Structure 1
Amino acid sequence: MAEITEELIREALRAVKDPDLNRDIVALGFVQEIRIDGGTVAFKIELTTPACPVKDELKAQAEQIVLGLAGVTQVDIEMTAIVRGRALDPQEVIPGVRHIIAVASGKGGVGKSTISVALAVALAKMGAEVGLLDCDIYGPSIPMMMGISQDSEPQITKVGEDLKMSPILAHGVHVMSLGFILKSDQAVVWRGPMLGKAVRDMLTGCVWGDLDYLIVDLPPGTGDVPMSLTQLVPISGVVVVTTPQYVAQEIARKSIAMFRTLSEATKRQIPILGMIENMSGGMFGTGGGEQAAERFDVPFLGRIPMKETISLGGDTGYPAVLSGNDTEIGGIFMSLAQNLAAKVSILQYASENR
């Protein structure tokens, strides 16, 4: 009987390929800490995101292959993940954040904040460290949708010589919003420079800590806030939200065009991670978002049906994604978050291997 060695196991595991990164898990450095005790083999598979959509498949394939080796009677695999991000520069505005993902729309009323909340909570639920920044300055709705009381105020923390705010933790997500500072009946009447300053203050004036993903809920349109954001921090990618109607698709096109223009102006890549069709079905029809993604040459991430449970989740502060993976809505939101995380990992891997 051939001896069971670490080299033999690694060679066998080269047959397991990550379909998103298109390389085997050994070459990717995923296989770690191989331990052999008689016929028992144990090792870790360290993925690039806890939200990996093929995590279970990779584990099952690896287990089957190693069990097929002569002399192996038991395989114990620990699935872990470390989100890989750009090289973190301590001089950056928010140095501990690996990926900043903007959620945008060309027009209001398409459910952009609902999607931002769902993505943030889903990623956190799968084990990622997640922040959620409400940059919808004129209509900050994130606190209510995350179940945070109107009376809640961020704690003030001294960092060096500066006083900074600590985001409020809700549903496993670190949340910051202008809604924590304004009174509920207070309107924001600001011109462009003040909007840019508000974005900077919420980015630099908060103790974000180490985050895998910071989801940024942008206001609708193509104005000062997205411009300020892209000038201040590197954006890993943008999610564009639309509804199925043709008019919404055409306005979403402007949002895509804006980020492509800003990418050229800032000399930074700002990838469009994909388009999400929200409020699909019923009076709005279905399929428009997918058609728009094809026309505008961007990936299609998925569609969210028009369901009362989603709007109720926003009103009550208990996002529908928390209803469980086995429910229709919970499963759809979790799948969307996995697709998004996969896109980010693919782009990050490509940037490291240019």
Structure 2
Amino acid sequence: MKNNALKAARLSVAPMMDWTDRHCRYFHRLMSRETLFYTEMVTAPALVRGGAVHLLDFNAEEHPVAVQLGGSDPVELAAATRLCVDRGYDEVNLNVGCPSDRVQSGTFGAVLMRTPGLVADCMAAMGEAADGVEVTVKCRIGVDDQVAEDVLPYFLDRMRGAGVTRIAVHARKAWLQGLSPKENREIPPLDYPLVHRMKAEFPDLHLSINGGISTLDEAEAHLQRMDGVMIGRAAYHQPADVLLEADQRIFGADHAPKSAHQVGEEMIPYIEARLAEGIRLHSITRHMLGLFAGRPGARAWRRILSEGATRPGAGIPLLREALAAVPETVPVEG
């Protein structure tokens, strides 16, 4: 039985290239049972023409989990959607927000904000192919010199007309010329009020807000106006701060949150299994460096893993050494 991605979308961790792979998502799932997790973007051509279906592999424990596709050909995206649904994903999302040159050259990502009619065709085709699994969009408020106040409501209306009911909006424009992908995540100003207004204007759509949100306090404030909040970099760099109490604070769960140390210990069986498959320790622990961010011992934890995990033969003893460098409880001064 699949988990309910719609319910989970109240809080989600954004798709992030090179970061939100299956190891990262398993690690995050140990901190939150409820939060919706996204894959890195997978391009439809890679799946359909390249046969790279291994890119869709994930662990059953990751549910609820959504896959993000990149592409702009309705037929190809429909075929890719069928592959994703067959693999058991809870949601299929289309990337209409990534501003990288690589994405633009493939005519997908944020550049598609200029052609909402094409996006609507893509979403309609994906919806037909999805066999009841929800198809969603992640977009920007506009690109380049577009007037966001005009572009965004028109875009949302076209998506609604294509049968889309859930959209995540990164509350920044993307500048396709002159800014790097990293700069596009930081320099264009955030316009939260515009996205809030869109929720009031489109009450029938489930809208999540994304961009610059870094704490559960901020998420709770946005949830006074929005259906969902999507957190990106903060969930990766300070995962314990964002995820350990998410189930209780965002979803009203009654189970007790884990400690960061407990999560580190619970990763050991997973890591042992992956090492036995030939995966290197660093491929997993690189996602865990922020586990103790802001806590005593965090620097030693990062140093031990950063310096040791890439060495040949590195394994569980190194992880145990790193965990031992972190106090399990913060000393109370008398």
Instruction: Identify the structure with the greater strand proportion.
Output: 1
The structure with higher relative contact order (CA 8 Å, sep 6+) is 1
Higher CA-based Rg: 1
What is the TM-score with the length of structure 2 in the denominator? Answer: 0.37
Structure with the higher fraction of residues in helix conformation: 2
Taking structure 1 as the reference length, the TM-score comes to: 0.35
